[in-house]
């Protein structure tokens, strides 16, 4: 079972992914977490991406596709992956389909968390005050939201056409959103 958690920055993808790791023993593949780990380790890759991320821009497709590819065997062994923050461009989505197909696997479900822009801005303002994540500052967040709207949201028709897309209201409590995701995961699929 391979799941994409899809939605704008700060929609709650990471929170829901972590819960599914606990309840379903799936593996969370978050390109954002992988890139932050690279920065924290001081690696060459980390140095290349830190400015881009801080500004809220997308890093190159080649970088994130490679990060994901390295982790696919582990996810497969666990019985499935939760893709969190990946894919973010059509090129990434197509690369993911190719990599999975090559391994005799596929994306089973794409859950889109719908949260409106005002709510996202409010959440991030709170998070920035608390944790000070550099790209949560208002200017970078606006860039991230624009990147989502121009480069990532256009993937929705791609997954809708492939009949993989389920939409979930992401404005409710963590528990309400979690049960909606559970329902989508447990519904019979073609």
Interface segment toward ligand ADP; rule CB under 6 A; list 19-27, 58-66, 106-114, 161-169? 58-66
Distances in Å between the alpha carbon of 123 and those of 7, 131, 140, 147? 14, 12, 14, 18
Q: Can you tell me which of 58, 81, 96, 115 binds ligand ADP, judged by CB under 6 A? A: 58
Closest-CB residue for ligand ADP? 32
Residues 107-136 interacting with ligand ADP (rule: CB under 6 A): 135
Beta carbon of residue 52, minimum distance to ligand ADP (angstroms, whole number):
6
- By CB under 6 A, tell whether 9 contacts ligand ADP: yes
* SS3 call for 30: strand
Q: Can you tell me which of 5, 35, 165, 180 binds ligand ADP, judged by CB under 6 A? A: 35
Angle at 57 between CA 12 and CA 37, to 5 degrees: 65
* SS3 call for 16: helix
Q: Which of 64, 70, 92, 86 is nearest to 2 (CA)?
A: 86
Beta carbon of residue 3, minimum distance to ligand ADP (angstroms, whole number):
15
């Amino acid at each position: 079972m391979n799941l994409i958690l899809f939605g704008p920055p700060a929609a709650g993808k990471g929170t829901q992914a972590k819960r599914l790791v606990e309840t379903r023993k799936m593996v969370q593949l978050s390109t954002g977490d992988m890139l932050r780990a690279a920065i924290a380790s001081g690696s060459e890759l980390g140095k290349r991406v830190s400015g881009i991320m801080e500004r809220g821009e997308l890093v190159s497709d080649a970088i994130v596709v490679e990060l994901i590819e390295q982790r696919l065997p582990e996810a497969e062994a666990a019985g499935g992956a939760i893709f969190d923050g990946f894919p973010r461009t059509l090129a990434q989505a197509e690369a993911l389909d190719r990599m999975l197909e090559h391994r005799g696997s596929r994306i089973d479900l794409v859950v889109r968390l719908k949260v409106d822009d005002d709510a996202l801005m409010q959440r991030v303002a709170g998070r920035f005050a608390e944790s000070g994540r550099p790209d949560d500052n208002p200017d970078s967040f606006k860039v991230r939201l624009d990147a989502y709207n121009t480069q990532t949201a256009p993937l929705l028709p791609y997954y809708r056409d492939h009949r993989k897309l389920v939409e979930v209201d992401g404005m409710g409590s963590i528990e309400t959103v979690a049960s909606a995701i559970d329902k989508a995961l447990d519904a019979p699929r073609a």
